[in-house]
Each structure stands twice: as C-alpha cells, then as structure tokens.
Amino acid sequence: MASTDNKDFLVTDKIDFKNFNSSEYNAIFQDLSPIQRLEKLYEYFTPDEILFTSSFGTNSAYLLFLLSKVNPSQKVYFINTGYLFEETIKYKNELSELYGLDIVEIQPLAQEHQMTEEEEWWTDHPKMCCAINKIAPLDKVKVGKKIWVSGVLGFQTEFRSDLGIFAPHGDLYKFHPLIDMEEGQFLYELNYHGLPKHPLADFGYGSVGCTHCTVKGDGRDGRWADSEKTECGLHTHYFTNKKELNESK
C-alpha cells in the first residue's frame, strides 16, 4: 500500500485552528467543485492533520475516486464493526486495488464487541451498539487530527441536509465536500466516470451498513427500518455519543 508523504503538499495558508471560523471557510469553498474543494483543503492542512474515513457503502465510490486523483496516499480509515456484509469487504478490496488507496482497518475492542453480539444489542440497544462498534474505535485515530473528511450527502436525510461544508464536531471539524450535490448530479458523476457499484446496490439496497440493521430500501430507508433511528452516530453530536457510551460501561 502507498504511504502518506507530506512533502507532496505545500500548505500555503496555514490556519490558526483555535480561531477557525467554519462560516468563513464555508464561503471560501462554496463555489468550488468537489475535487477543487479537496485540492484546496490541502492548501490549509497537511495529510497528517486530515482524518479520512469511508464506509465503502453504496455511495462511497465517488469521493474515493476524487481522493485517488488528489492524494491517493492519504490514509483512509475503514471501521470493520464485525457485522458488515461480506459484499462490503469485497467492495472495499476492489476499490482499494482499483484506486491504489491506503486503507487502514480499525475494529472495536474484542470484549465489548462480544458483549454486543452475545446480548444482541442491535435489537434493543441499537444506538449503543453503534457507539461501541463504530464510534469508539475512532477515538484513538482522531488524536492529532484537525479535519475529518466525510462523504455524507445532503439529500440523504433531513439531518444531513442541514450540514455545511465545514461543521464543528467535538475537538475537530467535519469536512463535507459532497454535501450540497443534488442527487441527480451525484448519480450522473457515478455513471460518467464508470465507478464500480457496491455488489448489493442492484439488489434493492440503497444504503448498506451492518447486516442486522440493513434491509432493502430506497436511499437510507433500509437502515434501522423498524425504529426512529436514522444515523449510526458518527456524523451526529460527538459528545452526546461519548457520554452515552461511558454511561453504558
């Protein structure tokens, strides 16, 4: 796999992160295309300051494709919850090889994961199941990071539609280069570039997460379909999720 080489990027406009104003930088990035936004991000932050994650879900290929054009050596963190579809693992391997990506797989603590499995937390405690298997594994990875790049799309949910290009998230800021893309434009880009589909996309899965909490459905309708839950918690308020996780132990 490739390794990140910061010498390839010259930070020309170093940000005083303590006084970072997301509204100011949202305005700077607003009129740029997604790939231009990624390119400009490296004018302000080094690769080591950037946290890039991917679920390798049905909508993941486009942002990974753009990253391969801008900085394929950027580490991409992949959370293997232990409950993923085999097709997702295969898709991760396919895109990693196709785009030459540096994928770093992280997992939940074995003892805590086993507890969620034995007690089937996804049934009665889905929020905490996500906290243990998806949110907590990122804690160590976040250390030293300033910007978290995510491929969330505004048209996916009401919560996501309210997010900006930059949004505060705990001790760092989320960066959403695709957040304001219309669904039609997003689908056009997938087809135009001939990007590989997730293996389950043609079988009625609009979104793919863990096996226990994913069924067929349009968009994200198939995620936690029998509950009011719509987000795993990675992209919602970090401190709330952290507090709930600590209280569960």
Q: Two tokens at 137?
A: 């594994």
- The answer to whether the annotation marks 210 as part of a ligand binding site is yes
Q: Sketch the domain layout of the chain as residue ranges.
A: 22-248
In whole angstroms, give the CA distance from residue 138 to residue 80: 11
Asked whether residue 131 is marked as a ligand-binding residue, the answer is no
The pair of structure tokens assigned to 216 is 């067929």
Task: Check: CB of residue 72 under 8 Å from CB of residue 1.
Answer: no
- DSSP helix/strand/coil, 174: strand
Active-site residue, from 50, 153, 232, 245: 232
The tens place of each residue's pLDDT in the chain, 249 residues long, gives 443 444 456 565 656 666 778 889 999 999 999 999 999 999 999 999 999 999 999 999 999 999 999 999 999 999 999 999 999 999 999 999 999 999 999 999 999 999 999 999 988 888 899 899 999 999 989 999 999 999 988 887 677 777 889 998 888 999 999 999 999 999 999 999 999 999 999 998 888 889 988 876 665 454 444 555 444 445 444 434 444 444 544
To the query of whether residue 232 is one of the catalytic residues in this protein, the response is yes
Identify the DSSP state of 109. -
The arrangement of secondary structure in 22-248, i.e. its CATH architecture, is 3-Layer(aba) Sandwich (3.40)
Could you tell me the sign of the dihedral formed by the alpha carbons of 159, 164, 165, 168, in that order?
A: negative
132 is in an annotated binding site: no
Residue 179: what pLDDT?
94
Other Cβ atoms within 10 Å of 151 Cβ, number:
22
Q: Is 130 annotated as a binding residue?
A: yes
